[in-house]
Each structure stands twice: as C-alpha cells, then as structure tokens.
C-alpha cells in the first residue's frame, strides 16, 4: 500500500518544465491536421459506401412500398 502512495506522490512532483515556456509546436499541429484529413477521408468513404449499399443491386427487383404491402397482405 505504501509503495503505491509513494509512487503517486513522486508522480506529482514538479518535473522542471515551465508551462509558460513549453508549448505544442508545429509538429503537433501537423499531426493534428493529418488526423483531421484522415477523418474527413474516412467519413467521405463511409458516406459513399453507404449510398452504394442502399441502392438496389444488379438483378434485384425494385418493389414500391405499395407493392410490398400488397404482397404481405396476399401472403397472410
């Protein structure tokens, strides 16, 4: 138990970094922009594939909602 408490206390010690001097740099901004671009491309791809999945496939009969309701009533 005391090992955990000492580890927590040591982890909270000051590490010598001044928050007024240390700032995220251009590398961090570049990584953020690349991740935003990757997310946008993934969203675009997902939307494109979703549209294709909703479209009827080759050879599939396209039924209107009225036709499918009549077919359900005929089966019952």
**Tens-place pLDDT, residues 19-46:** 787 778 899 999 999 999 999 999 999 9
Domain that holds residue 37: 25-54
Q: Is residue 8 part of a domain?
A: no
Q: Is residue 70 part of a domain?
A: no
Whether the pLDDT of residue 50 is over 70: the answer is yes
Phi, psi of 41 (to 5 degrees): -65, -40
User: What tens digit of pLDDT does each residue of 56-65 get?
Assistant: 777 777 665 5
Q: Is residue 4 part of a domain?
A: no
More confident of the two residues 74 and 37: 37
What are the C-alpha distances in Å from 26 to residues 18, 32, 67? 19, 10, 60
Q: Is residue 33 part of a domain?
A: yes
Which H or E run contains 71? Answer: helix 65-75
- Structural domains of the chain, count: 1
């Amino acid at each position: 138990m005391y090992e955990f408490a000492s580890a927590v206390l040591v982890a909270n010690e000051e590490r010598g970094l001044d928050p007024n001097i240390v700032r995220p740099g251009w590398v961090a901004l570049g990584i953020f922009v690349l991740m935003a671009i990757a997310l946008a491309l993934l969203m675009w791809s997902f939307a494109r594939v979703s549209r294709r999945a909703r479209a009827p496939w080759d050879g599939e009969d396209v039924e209107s909602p009225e036709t499918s309701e009549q077919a359900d009533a005929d089966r019952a």
